[in-house]
Structure 1
Amino acid sequence: MSTVDKLTGKRCDKGLRCACFVSPQRTQRFTENFLCLSRRVIFKLCVTLCPLWCILFSGCDRRELTYSDEAEITLTADWSKAGLSEQEAQYGATAVFYPTDGSTPITVLMGDRSRKTVRMKEGCYNVVLFNRSFDDFSGIAFRGMDAHHTLEAYAKNAQVKGMDGGKVSMDSPDELAADYVEGFEVTPDMLGNYEPSATRNTEHPSPCQLCFTPRKLTKEITVTIHIKGMNNIRTAICTLSGVPESVFLVSGKASERTLSQQFELAHPVYLPGSKTEGTMSTTFSVFGFDENILHEIYFRAQLVDGKTEFTEELKDMKVNVSEDSEGIVNITIDVTCGETVPTVKPEGSSGMDADVDGWDEEENKDIDI
Structure 2
Amino acid sequence: MVRINVDWHLFDKEVPTGMTVMVFPWSGGAPHTVLTNEITHADFSLEPGKYRVLVFNQSTTEFGTLDFLGMDSYETARAVVQHVTSRWYLRGEDEQIGVEPEWLASDKLDEFDVSEDTSEVTLTPRNVLSHIQVNVKVPNIGYLYSARGSLTGISEGFLLGQGKPLQSKVTYLLESWTKTIDENDATQGTLKTSFKCFGLPETAHLDAENNKLSFSALLIDKKTQVDYQFAVGDKFKKDDNSSELGYFASLHVDVELPKPLPEVKPSEGSSGGFDVTIKDWGKPEDIDMEL
Q: TM-score, normalised by structure 2?
A: 0.75
2:4 paired with 1:75: yes
Structure 2 Cα separation of the partners of residues 133 and 90 of structure 1: 10
Secondary structure of 2:15's partner?
helix
Say which structure is richer in helix. Answer: 1
Instruction: Find the partner of 1:167 among 87, 95, 110.
Output: 95
Structure 2 Cα separation of the partners of residues 171 and 344 of structure 1: 35
Q: Deviations over 1:49-104 (max 9, x none)?
A: xxxxxxxxxxxxxxxxxxxxxx2x3332223334x42xx21443221222345333
Q: What is the match of residue 139 of structure 2?
A: 228
Say which structure is richer in strand. Answer: 2
2:195 paired with 1:276: no
Q: How much has 1:151 moved relative to structure 2?
A: 0.7
Q: What is the match of residue 155 of structure 1?
A: 81
What do you get for the CA RMSD once the two structures are aligned? Answer: 3.2
Q: Deviations over 1:11-61 (max 9, x none)?
A: xxxxxxxxxxxxxxxxxxxxxxxxxxxxxxxxxxxxxxxxxxxxxxxxxxx
Amino acid at match of 1:300: S
Q: Deviations over 1:183-217 (max 9, x none)?
A: 44555x58xxxxxxxxxxxxxxxx82230022332
2:251 paired with 1:335: no
Secondary structure of 1:288's partner?
coil
Matches within 5 A, 1:255-294: 255-289=166-200, 292-293=206-207, 294=209
Structure 1 Cα separation of the partners of residues 243 and 271 of structure 2: 55
Structure 2 Cα separation of the partners of residues 288 and 75 of structure 1: 29
Structure 2 Cα separation of the partners of residues 262 and 172 of structure 1: 10
Contact 2:34–2:42 (CA under 8 A) maintained in structure 1 = no
Secondary structure of 1:149's partner?
coil
Structure 2 Cα separation of the partners of residues 111 and 305 of structure 1: 55
Q: TM-score, normalised by structure 1?
A: 0.61
Secondary structure of 1:95's partner?
strand
Instruction: Find the partner of 2:47 among 119, 122, 137.
Output: 122
Q: Deviations over 1:250-287 (max 9, x none)?
A: 21222322232223342210011443320011222232
Structure 2 Cα separation of the partners of residues 324 and 163 of structure 1: 33
Q: What is the match of residue 108 of structure 2?
A: 180
Q: How much has 1:306 moved relative to structure 2?
A: 4.5
The alpha-carbon distance between structure 1 residues 80 and 303, as it changes in their structure 2 partners (threshold 3 A), is farther
Q: What is the match of residue 29 of structure 1?
A: none
Structure 1 Cα separation of the partners of residues 182 and 145 of structure 2: 18
Amino acid at match of 1:81: L
Matches within 5 A, 1:15-94: 71=1, 73-82=2-11, 84-85=12-13, 88-94=14-20
2:8 paired with 1:97: no
Larger Rg: 1
Query: Which structure has more RCO (C-alpha within 8 Å, separation ≥ 6)?
Result: 2
Any stretches of 5+ residues in structure 1 without a counterpart?
1-70, 191-206, 358-369
Q: How much has 1:159 moved relative to structure 2?
A: 5.2
Contact 2:16–2:57 (CA under 8 A) maintained in structure 1 = no
2:261 paired with 1:315: no
Any stretches of 5+ residues in structure 2 without a counterpart?
277-291
Q: How much has 1:129 moved relative to structure 2?
A: 0.5
Q: How much has 1:304 moved relative to structure 2?
A: 4.3
